Each structure stands twice: as C-alpha cells, then as structure tokens.
Structure 1
Amino acid sequence: MASTEGHQEYEEEKQIQSLPKERGWASRYLYLFQGFWCPSTHIQGVNSFQNHFQAKHNDVIVASFPKSGTTWLKALTFAILNRQRFSSLENHPLLTSNPHELVPFLDFLFHGDNIQDQLSYLSNMTEPRVFGTHIPLPSLPKSIMESNCKIIYICRNPFDTFVSSWSFFNNIKSKSLPEVTIEEALQMYCKGIIGFGPIWDHMLGYWKESIATPNKVLFVKYEQLQEDVKFYVKRVAEYLDCPFTEEEESNGGIESIIKLCSFEKMKDLEVNKSGTVGRNIEKKYLFRKGEIGDWINYFSPAMIEMLSKTIEEKLSGSGLSFKTRA
C-alpha cells in the first residue's frame, strides 16, 4: 500500500514538474494544468476530485471564480434548499457555521490520502447535497455534466474581482514570498495568470453553457444579485425546483433568508471573525467590503486602460458584459 501511494506521489510530482509555470500571487508558482493556472498544492485535489467524485441527480454545485461572491451565494443556496429543515432562523446552522463549512469545496475535499474517508462523508451527507467549486467547466468530473445535478455560477465584474483577489492574496500569502505590487498583479491578471484563471476563460465557459443548456447552468452576476436580491433568491429557488409558496412569500420567508445571508450579518457573526476554514484560510479574510465599484479607489488611469482593453478583447462578441460601478 505504502509503495503504491509512494508511486502515485512520484507520478504526481513528475506531472507537476512537466507543466508550464509562472510566478504566483500567494504561492511561489502557478502551474498551467488542464488549461488553467493552479498552485501545485491543489493539483492532487483536482485530480482526485475528477477521479472519485460521483454526482447524484439532485446535487447542487455552486461554481465561481475566486472572490466573485462565492460565500454569499453559498449561504443563500444552502438557506433556500434547507428552509424546511431549518424553519427557525434563531438556531440556523449559518449562525454557527461558516458557509464554506456547510457547502464544502470539492476542489479541496480530496487532498491527502483520506479519499475513502471523504467518500464515506459524501455518501452520508443529507440530500440534496450542496457543494462549491472554483474549477473551470471543462475540468469538472464527467459525472457532474452527465447527471441531472444543477450548477449555479456567480461572477463579478473583473475590476472588483481583481481588487478583492489582490487584497485577499496579500493577506493569506506566506511572509517568505516577495510582495506583488498592484501593478504587477494586474499585468499577471490580464495575462490570465491567477489561481483558476484565466478569468476570461472561466467565465465564458459557464456563460456559454448557461446559454446552451439553461436547465443545467444558472448564470448570476454579483452586481445583479446585489441590486435585486429578492428577485434572484426567488429565481434560484425556482431553478432548483423548490419555489417559494404564496404563504412563504406573504410570511416574509424570502426577506428572512436575505437578512440571514446578508454581508453585514455574516461579517458580524462571531463564527466568521476567528478560526480557519478550508486549507487554513482565516475566516476574517473572507469578508472585506462586498461593494460594487470599490476598484476605483485602487486603479490608476493606466491600469483602467489596461484592464478595459483586455476585457474588450477577451469578451468581445460573447454577449457577456459587466457594470463596473454602483
């Protein structure tokens, strides 16, 4: 057994060393793996996710590019799907657990040699199971695409996504790594060199799939969700085949979920102020500002021109566009 595991580790290490690499933001290097940039520490988990995860027809996958509203959409989706189980909001799990604990990332679940433990955990989860992923659509396991499970994808305008990512990675990166200036980071970002990037490929993959198979992928923009959260909470519930009843609407059920999952509420909860989640990410770094248009406080005119030109070039003709300011 040990020799088998040792051989597997050797093969994975050999695979990593054969991949193109570039300087990373929060890790020393990012590797071009299956067409997207990935830290070496994540490659094993992605491989295992692809090889071992078996989707169920009633699974729900919350997909996103990092720092695009993932935590918020996870909380909303969990609350919408489980509103009958947890009808009393006074002792709701979201008050005592971080959304990433209730909606685990499949990308990170299979790290290490505990595959069987994780498969047992997955088989015993209450259904419908809800998961998160940052994996681009082409790299999702076949079982997800071939089953009837549904994907909700959230994205955010690339200006705010960049600032949120840059701030986040500066907080979590090892102190031994050199600082990446915001100008350097933007050049890398425009070239696609960021974890799970290029962001353009990531968004367009899910965008095109949502047009081709709207029953499989629901595409949501962070800005639209913030502007009309009630509409999108109802839309998500309908998409997941659990629409709100007239009685639930008249009793304020939608508003209760919106309040429970609001940025202000979640940021203020003690469970989200301390401790870690996932791969030892401090929870306090998951909640920064959540504002539309905060990027304007960070961008020089030259940076605005660089990213604007890149967005125009990468998204031209796709029909996908973004509102960049509130």
Structure 2
Amino acid sequence: MSSSPSAVPDYLGDEDLTQETRDLISSLPREKGWLVSQMYQFQGRWHTQALLQGLMECQKRFEAKDSDIILVTNPKSGTTWLKALVFALITRHKFPVSSGDHPLLVTNPHLLVPFLEGVYYESPDFDFSKLSFPRLMNTHIPLLSLPETVKSSSCKIVYCCRNPKDMFVSLWHFGKKLAPEETADYPIEKAVEAFCQGKFIGGPFWDHVLEYWYASLENPNKVLFVTYEELKKQTGDTIKRIAEFLGCGFIGEEEVSGIVKLCSFESFLGCGFVGEEEERGIVKLCSFESLSSLEVNREGKLPNGMETKAFFRKGDVGGWGDTLSESLAEKIDRTIEEKFQGSGLIFSR
C-alpha cells in the first residue's frame, strides 16, 4: 500500500539541515536505504541525516533529571504501544483509566510522549522543562550515543525489544507506506541482506539490543529490559514489572486490569471489547466504529507530517511469515544466532 508524499515525515527529508550537519555527513560512511535515499553511519550506527542532526542536538542540549523516564526501542518494536502503556501508568491518578475522556482515547500516543531526536530536529529550542512531572520521553538512540546526562543521572530507562523478523517485516511495510518511491524498486531480498549486515536505520540491530541488554543486567535499577512478546502474551505481569521498576506499583488488581484493557492492542485498533466494569463511554469510544470515524485516527497527522494510521498494521507475534520466505527467515535467524551467541538473550523462531 502506498501513500502520498505528504505522509512522509520531516525527519526522512533534508530541508532543515544545518551547515554543521551537512559538513559532518559529507565525511561519514553512507548507504542507500529502503526508507531514505541515503543513511549515514555515526558512532557505529546508521541514521537518516535529519535524525542524525536531532541526535547531535540532543547530545548537546538535553539535560536529564533523576526523575525522568526514557523509553527506548529500535524502530517498529512496539514504540507506540509502550508509550501508551507507560503514559497510562504514570498518569493514572490524574487520568483514571475508567474515565470516558482519557487522553489515550482521543490522542495518538506520539503526541503525548515526545520523541527526543525528532523534537530536536524539528524544534531544537523545545523546552523539555515544561513537560509534566515526571517527564516521559522516548528515543531510538543507541546506549553509546545517549546524552551524557542520561548516563550519569538516576533517570529510568525502559527498553523494549522485538523479535527481529517481526521488527524487520513491520519496518518493511512501514517504509512502503511512508516512502513508496524509495521502496518501489528495492527488493525485499536486498533489504534482508542489508538488515543482516546491520545497515538499516538504527542498526545494527544486535548492537542496539545487546547494549541495553547488558546494561539491564549490570544496572537493573536504571535499565529495565522487556520484550514485545512479553507485552503481548503476559500484558498484566509485564505492566506490573514496569510499574514496580518506575516506583509506581499497583495497590489492587482492579487498577491493573483497567490499564490492560485500555491499552490492549485490540483497543487501539478498535476491534476488541473492553470489560463490562469500564465506563460506557470507553466501550463506545474504543469500538471499531468509533475509532475509525475519529479524524485523528482516520485522517489525522502528526506535526511532522506522518499519518497516525501508519503506526498500526497488525502487531502480531510471529506475523513475519506472511512476508518473509523460508530462506529469508532462515538468513535472519542465522545472523541473529551468531550475533547473540553467549549473551543469554534468545529469540524464538
């Protein structure tokens, strides 16, 4: 499925690059990607030129606070869902999940939780001190490249990892929606080869994941490592882990149940039902008919130009089989087994 050029977000372009960024990228290794015509290697990772500028601005300007919560993912690894879950957790007293006017029911999660490098590219003077306490943000920035104040502070990092085959397939389809001209003549076999070489936005996948995996083992009070598959299969237990890690654990099971229902993937897509104990307004608003009729989900766009509907495709665990051939899946499996050998982190086939 292709989209109009207006759906392509600002940070896939190059219209607002500073001279400093242009000078830097002229000296960096570059590769053609399937989302952008060129991506650049900086500090061992691959970035679009716009997000590279955002990353550098973030490194220079961002001042972390001990109370900050930073959500980290690879692209297409449950970012939208993780934002919604944690937003619901830390604001549940201000915005009870049983209310009929919860922000998540009328606002895309990406508008509630700022994307660090995206904000610093689009609005480099953005004042993060104005965010509500505790400040909640997300990023795709590798651990190595995080601002020094993030590393030295006591802020909390929640890292969500997804099975690489599912992540790749989600990114592949995401690219077809956002940049159809770039992906039209880019065969999936070539994209898998690039992925297995670590040459994709945010890649290499294994370096990004393993840095945070080892950090979670070395400093479990600062970094919590969860998987998308855990969130799907054991949503309640995983939410409890996140809540306890953030110091906002639950008192009763009823509160956990409410957030699980509100933030289920099915509710986001509008194709599931919430419990009878929830307010009648939530049942109506989260129905497929209601959500699909809302302008914010049907025709809405983020300030960067991205259509909000682009963030929801299937969200399946193991859904890669609809897109990857057996040989391509095996190629990814062999690469991952080699790269993660001895780490203790295992991905199911």
| C-alpha displacement of 1:126 | 1.0
Which residue number corresponds to residue 4 of structure 1?
A: none
Which residues of 2 match residues 156-167 of structure 1 at below 5 A?
156-167=162-173
Whether contact under 8 Å (1:45, 1:108) holds in the other structure is yes
CA distance in 2, matches of 1:309, 1:321: 12
Which residues of 2 match residues 33-112 of structure 1 at below 5 A?
33-87=42-96, 88-112=98-122
* Ranges in structure 1 where 5+ consecutive residues have no aligned partner: 1-7
Alignment-mate amino acid for residue 152 of structure 1: V
After superposing the two structures, state which structure 1 stretch, 159-168 or 179-188, moved more. 179-188
CA distance in 1, matches of 2:214, 2:240: 23
Alignment-mate amino acid for residue 128 of structure 1: P
| C-alpha displacement of 1:288 | 0.5
Which residue number corresponds to residue 259 of structure 1?
A: 261
* Ranges in structure 2 where 5+ consecutive residues have no aligned partner: 1-16, 271-290
Moved over 4 A (4+): none
Matched, 1:239 2:262: no
Matched, 1:193 2:202: no
| C-alpha displacement of 1:178 | 4.5
Write out per-residue CA displacement over residues 110-131 of structure 1, whole angstroms, 9 at most, x where no aligned residue.
115x433x02xx1111100100
Aligned match of 1:303 in 307, 328, 331? 328
Aligned match of 2:36 in 27, 37, 55? 27
CA distance in 1, matches of 2:165, 2:326: 13
CA distance in 2, matches of 1:154, 1:273: 27
When normalised by structure 2's length, the TM-score is 0.85
Aligned-pair RMSD on alpha carbons? 1.5
Write out per-residue CA displacement over residues 261-286 of structure 1, whole angstroms, 9 at most, x where no aligned residue.
11121123333332222632211110
CA distance in 2, matches of 1:255, 1:295: 29
Write out per-residue CA displacement over residues 120-153 of structure 1, whole angstroms, 9 at most, x where no aligned residue.
xx11111001000001111010111111110000
After superposing the two structures, state which structure 1 stretch, 299-308 or 129-138, moved more. 299-308
CA distance in 2, matches of 1:272, 1:236: 27
Which residue number corresponds to residue 221 of structure 1?
A: 227
Aligned match of 1:203 in 206, 209, 214? 209
Which residue number corresponds to residue 278 of structure 2?
A: none
After superposing the two structures, state which structure 1 stretch, 156-165 or 177-186, moved more. 177-186
Which residue number corresponds to residue 11 of structure 2?
A: none
Write out per-residue CA displacement over residues 204-228 of structure 1, whole angstroms, 9 at most, x where no aligned residue.
0100100000001000011111111
| C-alpha displacement of 1:302 | 1.7
Write out per-residue CA displacement over residues 76-117 of structure 1, whole angstroms, 9 at most, x where no aligned residue.
0000000001124311111111111101100111115x433x
| C-alpha displacement of 1:316 | 0.7
Aligned match of 2:342 in 313, 317, 324? 317
Overall identity of the aligned pairs, in %: 45
| C-alpha displacement of 1:176 | 6.1
Which residue number corresponds to residue 137 of structure 1?
A: 143
Matched, 1:175 2:204: no
